[in-house]
Amino acid sequence: MREHVLPNVALIGFMGTGKSLLGQMLAQRWGWQFVDTDAMVEERVGCSVAQIFERLGEPFFRQMETEILHKLETQRQLVIATGGGAPTRTENVQSLRRHAVILLLSAEPEVILQRVQPIASRPKLASAPDPMAEIRRLLKEREQAYSCADLHLNTSRLSPEQAVARIEELVKQWKATRPF
């Protein structure tokens, strides 16, 4: 059974929705630790996500991502920014649900395309002939995976400060609805 008040906050959602920036801002406000699973994979493997995809392949990256997510389960007061594809593995979602409130950040495809520049650092989009079509396709494909979230915020028209304030409200309301 899930703990009534979960110790961590996990941000999920597509690339360019604000997971890393807003996660860092939140962690700073709360005096919590910020962790970014992409950065942890990069540190463990010793090269960038783009290089991992190119040299070792996406399945290798996904396995590293899963292992790193499992390691976070025992930690407390973390704001976790996950990679955009993390919720596509059921075991990743199950792992997050054991210790974190899951908050989905979303944005419109046009906004995402602007925010993910330079696109070379985003292997899932850089390899596509039409990045906008690929964003739309992946969003559709991941709709179900992203629906695991407890909370949702569309960041398309919010400044980072507005988004952080809204996330704080959402988390507060969510906690208030827990029985203890």
Applying CB under 6 A, which residues contact ligand S3P?
15, 19, 38, 49, 83-85, 122-124
User: What minimum distance in Å lies between the beta carbon of 98 and ligand S3P?
Assistant: 21
User: What minimum distance in Å lies between the beta carbon of 4 and ligand S3P?
Assistant: 29
User: What minimum distance in Å lies between the beta carbon of 104 and ligand S3P?
Assistant: 12
The smaller minimum CB distance to ligand S3P, of residues 66 and 75, is found at 66
The smaller minimum CB distance to ligand S3P, of residues 49 and 107, is found at 49
The smaller minimum CB distance to ligand S3P, of residues 3 and 58, is found at 58
The smaller minimum CB distance to ligand S3P, of residues 2 and 71, is found at 71
SS (H, E, C) the chain: CCCCCCCEEEEEECCCCCHHHHHHHHHHHHCCEEEEHHHHHHHHHCCCHHHHHHHCCHHHHHHHHHHHHHHHHHCCCEEEECCCCHHHCHHHHHHHHHHEEEEEEECCHHHHHHHCCCHHHCHHHHCCCCHHHHHHHHHHHHHHHHCCCCEEEECCCCCHHHHHHHHHHHHHHHHHCCCC
